[in-house]
Amino acid sequence: MKNTMSNTAGAIYTGTDADAVAGSGALDFLPGLSTTPSVPEGSYDLRILQSLRRIIRAVEIHSRKLAQSYRITGPQLGCLLAIRETGPVTTTRLAHQVYLSPSTVVGIVDRLEEKALVVRQRSRTDRRQVQIGITEKGEELAASAPSLLQNTLAEALKKLPESEQVSITLSLEKVVDLMEARQIEASPVLETGAIGHALPEVAFPFEEG
């Protein structure tokens, strides 16, 4: 299926939907693909909306893959990877590392503990502190799960000149202002819906409506 995609230089990419994500690693399957009318090159508002929609869809698809294949959400995986990297850590320190509120992290850790992926334990140096450590099961999942979408984005951005990184950042922040969304609180985590939500009970295909 043919699809058009604008890049940061404003050029139009024409190829198949599979080509658009091939080799990305983060999105290796796209269920429910359908042909949509091409957006005129000069319709900048529609091109912006289409790009935003693609970002949202990419997050949804990646989140669904994690849920279906690993029974874990993106924020849960992010916390698990952070614990794996730093070792036993307090809730407050973990919240700082993953840029989430402590209350949100508490809920995420509760779910990880229910899955036997992490364990709460008293600090050996300060018995008043409760630290979160990763279990053997958690190590296995962290090693086999795909990269977080935001990590894939971060690595791709590092390969760009700093001037282009600044341009992309300012452009997206301008879109936020144009949509009058600056006042909305948001963590720098690629996830739709509430960050600390549980996995959905029933899976559904990603069909465009």
> First vs last Cα of the chain: how many Å apart?
18
Domain membership of residue 189 (yes or no) is no
Quick count: other Cβ atoms within 10 Å of Cβ 155?
11
Domain membership of residue 88 (yes or no) is yes
Domain membership of residue 80 (yes or no) is yes
Instruction: Give the global pTM.
Output: 0.68
> What is the domain extent for residue 106?
74-144
CATH number reported for the structural domain that contains residue 127 in this entry: 1.10.10.10
Domain membership of residue 204 (yes or no) is no
pLDDT at 35: 74
Domain membership of residue 67 (yes or no) is no
If one counts the domains in the chain, the total is: 1
pLDDT at 93: 94
**pLDDT tens column, 40-80:** 888 899 999 999 999 999 999 988 888 898 999 999 999 99
Domain membership of residue 131 (yes or no) is yes
Domain membership of residue 92 (yes or no) is yes
Is 190 within 8 Å of 74 (Cβ atoms)? yes
Q: Which residues pair with 5 in a beta bridge?
A: 13
